[in-house]
Amino acid sequence: MKKRLGIDIDGTVTCPSTFIPYLNEAFGKELALSDITQYNLAPLYGVTEEEMDRWLEENEADIYERAPLARYALEVIDSWKDRYELYYISARGRHLYDLTEHWFRRHGVHYHHIDLIGSHDKIAAVRQYKLSAFFEDKYDNACEIAEACGIPVILFDTPYNRGPLPENVIRVNNWLEAKREIEQRLRP
């Protein structure tokens, strides 16, 4: 039986700076990815949580549809399509499934399963699908999955996910490093 890899979508398969130009335009800022030092965007853009949530709800579909791939993601994922089962677990809401699946097909990103769970709590999905490893960009998710599920978690380095890491969370700079790490850790 093939091992299953769990992969987050936004900021992992898609470029982590995807939302920044749209946020900058909407809120009159000129922030770069290096300025995004926390996952909670509202304080960085000087708006309330409610305003940010409302803006995200109104704009997320258009932004997700235009999201560029992260560097090397397609090549690495494509190299795994016959070797592993690729399960995408995202905090996106289920109402975005058709748009998400269309984006995958349009970009040629291989998948065996896509689950939009509508929450950042991915532990139940990781357990349900019996994943062997997970790929993530959200710091607390990476740490929680690694500790609760006892699997390696590849954390794609960004300014918003810095912090001390448990032993089985591995920080990488790109998909080529992620491939090297996971193939070392999941040898038969």
d(CA 79, CA 39): 30
DSSP 33: G
Residue 85 in this model has a pLDDT that exceeds 80: yes
Which of the two residues, 120 and 161, has the higher pLDDT score?
Answer: 161
pLDDT at 188: 65
Q: What is the mean pLDDT of the chain?
A: 97
* Mean pLDDT lowest among 57-61, 92-96, 111-115, 118-122: 118-122
pLDDT digits (tens, 9 = 90+) for 11-41: 999 999 999 999 999 999 999 999 999 999 9
pLDDT digits (tens, 9 = 90+) for 113-152: 999 999 989 999 999 999 999 999 999 999 999 999 999 9
Both tokens of 164, joined, read 């001390």
- Mean pLDDT over residues 163-174, rounded? 97
Name the superfamily (CATH) of residues 2-13+69-184.
HAD superfamily/HAD-like (3.40.50.1000)
pLDDT digits (tens, 9 = 90+) for 99-114: 999 999 999 999 999 9
Spatial neighbors of 80 by CB under 8 A, at least 6 apart, are 5, 86, 110, 179
Spatial neighbors of 58 by CB under 8 A, at least 6 apart, are none
Helix (H, G, I), strand (E, B) or coil at 97: helix
d(CA 139, CA 72): 21
Query: In the chain, pLDDT over 70 holds for what percent of residues?
Result: 99
Q: Can you give the length of the chain in residues?
A: 188
d(CA 128, CA 150): 14
Task: Determine how many CB atoms are found less than 10 A away from the CB of residue 119.
Answer: 12
Domain with CATH 3.40.50.1000 in the chain: 2-13+69-184
42, containing H or E segment? helix 42-45
Residue 158 in this model has a pLDDT that exceeds 80: yes
Q: Which residues lie across from 136 on neighbouring strands?
A: 155
- Cβ-count burial 33-72 (b if 16+ within 10 Å, e if not): eeebeeeebbebbebeeeebeebeeeebeebbeebebbee
- Mean pLDDT over residues 171-188, rounded? 94
**Beta-strand runs (E) in 79-184:** 85-90, 113-116, 133-136, 153-156, 169-172
d(CA 134, CA 141): 10
Band (pLDDT 50/70/90 cuts) for residue 187 is: confident
Where does residue 172 rank: exposed (0-12), middle (13-18), buried (19+ CB within 10 A)? middle
